[in-house]
Amino acid sequence: MRNLSRKASSFRLQTSTDWFYPDFICQLADGRVLVVEFKGEHLWTEGEEKRAVGAVWESRSAGRCLFIMPKGPDLEAIKSKIKTTN
């Protein structure tokens, strides 16, 4: 599902200066939650803090949540993330 920015029902994570609203959120068939933030390759370095925040959120979820920020339109990276952490 597309996660709309700045709506009362939107999923968000805290950065050092503001909230960050990942692009997509979905519940997988096994009950885990997958959050995806897309960044074009030209914006990859600007997403460093968001990647770090997402990684901490994922690590504290006891395996219930996954976060990925693929570099560009890398759908294989998303598939791999789901498989390797299942």
Alpha-carbon torsion, ordered 6, 10, 12, 17, to 10 deg: 10
> Tens of pLDDT along 46-64?
789 999 999 999 999 999 9
Q: What is the mean pLDDT of residues 67-77?
A: 90
Q: What is the mean pLDDT of residues 1-21?
A: 92
Q: What is the mean pLDDT of residues 55-74?
A: 93
Nearest to 23 by CA among 36, 40, 7: 36
Q: What is the mean pLDDT of residues 67-74?
A: 89
Q: What is the mean pLDDT of residues 74-82?
A: 92
Q: Is residue 43 part of a domain?
A: yes
Q: What's the whole-number average pLDDT of the chain? A: 91
Q: Is residue 4 part of a domain?
A: no
Q: Is residue 49 part of a domain?
A: yes
Domain count, the chain: 1
Q: Is residue 52 part of a domain?
A: yes
Q: Is residue 34 part of a domain?
A: yes
Domain span at residue 77?
Answer: 13-84
Tell me phi and psi for residue 14, to 5 degrees: -85, 130
